[in-house]
Structure 1
Amino acid sequence: MSSPRHVPVLLDRVVSLLEPALTRDGAVLVDCTLGLGGHSEAVLSRVPGARVIGVDRDTDALRLAGERLAPFGERFTGVHAVYDELPQVLADLGLDSVDAVLFDLGVSSMQLDERERGFAYAEDAPLDMRMDSTTGPTAADVLNTYDARELMRVLRDYGEEKFAKKIAGAIVRAREVEPFSRSGRLVELLYAEIPAPARRTGGHPAKRTFQALRMEVNDELAVLRRAIPAAIDAIGVGGRVVVESYHSLEDRMVKQAFTAVTASTVPHDLPFVPEGSEPELRLVTRGAEKANAAEIDENPRAASVRLRAIERVHPRRTTARGVAR
């Protein structure tokens, strides 16, 4: 059984948002961020007729989730892919559409717990941070090869770090003495560069830098920018897309994508909506839902969650990218 820290954020609420789309026998949910399989397990347990396709770029997550979900037999299919590859995943499985798509963005509990992955700043570990440890540059590569301007951009845009310029300069100077390889040295540098008053507020002083490096290493925003329209295109009538975000840039991107496909294009002064002009999708959540105090006490990761959901109410006339079908 998973430990309490592996309980997915807002699990009951997420399942309740997905369930209306999964009522038909054989309905398919794509869990685009499978992780340890907590969401998928809950859906498979509570919605007996549903199937789940679990997508993850992390091979360790796929293995562990596969073991956890093995009792559900052929109702679960694991796929090694990045979630912006959703169209190809569905094509490979012979599916034209699905009934629901779920994203629980950010780093998983398992990745934080595996010290050698380098996601956590609490322990000294190799500076890796790749969600797929089989490919791509590491956080150490970013620290050791990006120039000061590029480093400042990453820290400012992805970490919302006020001292991005100061930290970037310090990183460039420090790597001339010795390249970065482990997280402990980076944490020491951050303590030295971030002024003491700022260190006393806003959580651990390394939190923003580590978040920024992780997002850069895994190209998270670009992947999400491609994945949300693909998910919207993938659902049929009655289908839902549910997204949990933990970063303001992610949530803004999801909000803009959802607003674009649920907004009416009919002039406000028109007394009626012509047939065929209705938005194809509707918002299921009013704005972004947040966790309550009890949820945050039980699961501190829930403090920053923003939950949004939409539902398709009319057949597709265009794709979410605006290309006519």
Structure 2
Amino acid sequence: MKHETVLKEEAITYLNIKPDGIYVDGTLGGAGHSKAILSHLKDGFLYAFDQDDFAISFAKEVLKDLDRYMIIKSNFRYLKQRLNDLGIEKIDGLLLDLGLSSFQIDDASRGFTYLKDTTLDMRMDQHQPLTAEMIVNTYDEKALARIFFVYGEEKNGNRIARKIVENRPLKTTMDLVKICDQVNYKDKGHSAKRVFQALRIAVNDELTVLEDVLKDAVSLLKPDGRLVVITFHSLEDRMVKHFFKDITTIEIPKNLPIQNIDTSPYEIVTKKPIYPSEAEY
């Protein structure tokens, strides 16, 4: 199995790794970023988080010849707590790669793909009880429509939700794709893309988790520490941009004679988003 690491060189560059620093890879995945971080450490240490059993097994094989790291099986929303439990209160850098790993998509049994007929699962942590199948078969029409609109920006969310309720029970990904095909038949892209994104976000509570970890991340950073976030869709992108703007901006009331204005302790290093190079496409 081959795993492609996204924005590896760019992520390492902006982490500005110190050889003796303490770093965290909040999304271990295929271990491409972790391996790159470790290659820059001498006396430093890396803590790598993931909640996916397969990802952890795969990463252990990738990193088997390296040391100075620890893999922690946990959702990164508990990152600060788990680090504090280990006596780590401050870190030099944190990387969050918010995309799905290629092996999660390629493994049809995980239910992330709308291109194969498989179970409606979509769990990152396969030990949690909530699945996509439970959501589509138990949530009411209004709740489903809200998920599709808010998490998938699906303009036909109401119609899709209504058809889901009318055609219950749904058992497989193709059951859901057929409904999306009936509603989004005029779409240029895949009819179910936005609905699958929305369900995946809902199953894994991804946006709440992201909000939590961003708040914890900045409180963990040492002076000159770096937070690098790789986003893959507009919801994540907006949330991260707004968060960075909020923590780096001091609101000053207009037309008030204020002296000794405080400045934010945080600074945005990249003035514009960094995109993958042509070599990655």
TM-score range, shorter chain: over 0.9
User: Contact conserved, 2:19 with 2:42, CA < 8 A, in 1?
Assistant: no
Which of 181, 185, 202 is the equivalent residue of 2:171? 181
Query: RMSD of the TM alignment (CA)?
Result: 2.0
With over 3 angstroms needed to count, the CA separation of the structure-2 counterparts of 1:125 and 1:86, relative to structure 1, is same
The residue type equivalent to 1:247 in the other structure is H
Point out the more displaced range, 211-220 or 100-109. 100-109
Identity %: 39
Name the counterpart of 1:61: 55
Name the counterpart of 2:105: 112
Name the counterpart of 2:180: 190
Deviation of 1:65 (Å): 0.8
Q: 1:291 and 2:270 equivalent? A: no
Give me the whole-angstrom Cα distance separating, in 2, the residues matched to 1:239 and 1:270: 34
User: Contact conserved, 1:43 with 1:50, CA < 8 A, in 2?
Assistant: no
- The superposition leaves residues 48-98 of structure 1 with CA deviations (integer Å, 9 ceiling, x where unpaired) of 44421111111221121122112112x111001111111111112111111
1:246-257 → structure 2 map (5 Å cutoff): 246-257=232-243
Q: 1:15 and 2:12 equivalent? A: yes
User: Contact conserved, 2:49 with 2:71, CA < 8 A, in 1?
Assistant: yes
1:179-218 → structure 2 map (5 Å cutoff): 179-195=169-185, 197-198=186-187, 201=188, 203-218=189-204
Give me the whole-angstrom Cα distance separating, in 1, the residues matched to 2:252 and 2:208: 31
Any unmatched runs of 5+ in structure 1?
A: 300-325
User: Contact conserved, 2:49 with 2:73, CA < 8 A, in 1?
Assistant: yes
TM-score normalised by L of structure 2: 0.94
Give me the whole-angstrom Cα distance separating, in 2, the residues matched to 1:66 and 1:122: 29
Q: 1:264 and 2:250 equivalent? A: yes
Q: 1:84 and 2:77 equivalent? A: yes
Name the counterpart of 1:322: none
Deviation of 1:136 (Å): 2.5
Deviation of 1:272 (Å): 9.4
- The superposition leaves residues 167-222 of structure 1 with CA deviations (integer Å, 9 ceiling, x where unpaired) of 111100000xxx11211221122112223x22xx1x21111111110000000011
Which of 196, 205, 210 is the equivalent residue of 1:224? 210
Aligned residues: 281
User: Contact conserved, 1:32 with 1:102, CA < 8 A, in 2?
Assistant: yes
The residue type equivalent to 1:57 in the other structure is Q
Give me the whole-angstrom Cα distance separating, in 1, the residues matched to 2:86 and 2:198: 34
User: Contact conserved, 1:84 with 1:226, CA < 8 A, in 2?
Assistant: yes
Point out the more displaced range, 129-138 or 249-258. 249-258
User: Contact conserved, 2:122 with 2:200, CA < 8 A, in 1?
Assistant: yes
Any unmatched runs of 5+ in structure 2?
A: none
